[in-house]
Amino acid sequence: MAVIQDDASFVALVDPVTGLADSVALPRGPAGQRLFDDGRGNKSDKLDHEALVSVSTRDESLLVAFGSGSMPRRESIALLAAFDTPHPTAHVVVARRFYAALRASTPFAGSELNVEGAIYLGGGRLRLFGRGNGAERGAVRPVNATCEIDWAALRAHVEHPDHAPTPTPLDVVQYELGSIGQSRLTFTDAAVGWPSARNATPVFYSAAAEASPDATRDGEVAGSAIGVIEQRDGTTAARWTQLTDGGGGRLSLKVEGVALDRAERGRLLAVVDTDAHDHPAELLQVQLEGSWPL
């Protein structure tokens, strides 16, 4: 399992059985650092890779990481090859024209662009998830939204970011995800679900209810949710449930990443970020019960 870190220039390759991790280093920041936080005074220097997706084609298998796009420094795409070997490689490309295209799509970006999740779909398309936790900009509100990107076009653009055509965001869908307490739920990640008779490709997502003043600053977390996006009678719909602990109480943690547990159908793996440099991320097992598309 691969975990991207928004405040550290590493990708962690985690064994979900033992919890042990190997790291793949990404480029250092302007001052030669790979760790970023308010205490170090260098938070604005981080790459802020928030979304990570596995893309396998006839030609190659890659891990692809996307910067959030919430600041100019955060407009890069990382490609990791040979990640299932002892010698993985990483290549980071600044993709300003691509992020400008995402930002120009106001139905997707809303008031502040903040890419937080990505999945690879059949037919050679990526779906990006935008987190609607930004500040309002005049009449433009923050939105939770998805858009689709042609992978072949993006791959060519990453190879030649200054010359190849910029992929266009397609099929934008906006979502109202609800709230926990006084805080709106906003996308933090997504994963393609298990195929089922009712819905061939359901999409699971994680969302956090965080009182963020804008897309670059953290806020108090009221809780997190796991949801599913389904096609029903030709209509796209999202439903969710709040995450609870083993005793049934509200889990007031910020889930930033979600993946299917391939060893057990009906169980997800979730990564919790405490937004504190002196506390490690935590890996949770989430058991799904009830009417999920399993």
User: pTM of the predicted model, to two decimals?
Assistant: 0.95
CB 131 within 8 A of CB 187: yes
Least confident stretch, 13-17, 98-102, 135-139? 13-17
CB 131 within 8 A of CB 145: no
Whether 88 maps to a domain, the answer reads yes
Whether 294 maps to a domain, the answer reads no
d(CA 160, CA 76): 13
Residue 95 pLDDT exceeds 90 = yes
d(CA 39, CA 118): 30
Q: Whose CA is closest to 223, among 182, 258, 191, 189?
A: 182
Q: What is the CA angle 258-178-269, rounded to 5? A: 10
Whether 292 maps to a domain, the answer reads no
Q: Which two tokens stand for residue 193?
A: 């679900």
pLDDT tens-place string over residues 35-48: 998 888 898 999 99
Predicted pLDDT at 124? 93
Whether 293 maps to a domain, the answer reads no
Predicted pLDDT at 199? 54
Whole-number Cα distances in Å, 101 to 137, 146, 246: 18, 14, 43
Region label for 108, one of left (φ > 0), alpha (ψ between -120 and 50) or beta (otherwise): alpha
* Residue type for position 265: R
Which residue, chain included where needed, has tokens 């990505």? 118
CB 148 within 8 A of CB 69: no
- SS3 of 63-99: the string is EEEEECCCCHHHCEEEEEECCCCCCCEEEEEECHHHH
What is the end-to-end Cα distance of the chain in Å, rounded? 21
Residue 241 pLDDT exceeds 60 = yes
- Given pLDDT bands bounded at 50, 70 and 90, which one contains residue 216? confident
Polymer length in residues for the chain = 294
10 Å CB burial of residue 19 (0-12, 13-18, 19+) is exposed
Domains: count for the chain: 1
pLDDT tens-place string over residues 13-60: 988 788 889 999 999 999 999 999 888 889 899 999 999 999 999 889
Whether 160 maps to a domain, the answer reads yes
d(CA 103, CA 126): 17
b/e 257-268 (16+ beta carbons within 10 angstroms → b): bbbbbeeeeeeb
Listed ranges 153-162, 211-220, 231-240; the one with the highest mean pLDDT: 153-162
Give mean pLDDT, residues 219-235. Answer: 89
- Given pLDDT bands bounded at 50, 70 and 90, which one contains residue 198? low
Whether 151 maps to a domain, the answer reads yes
The domain spanning residue 190 has which CATH number? 2.120.10
116 is in which domain, residue-wise? 2-287
Least confident stretch, 17-21, 101-105, 163-167, 269-273? 17-21
Q: What is the CA radius of gyration of the chain?
A: 18
Predicted pLDDT at 235? 83
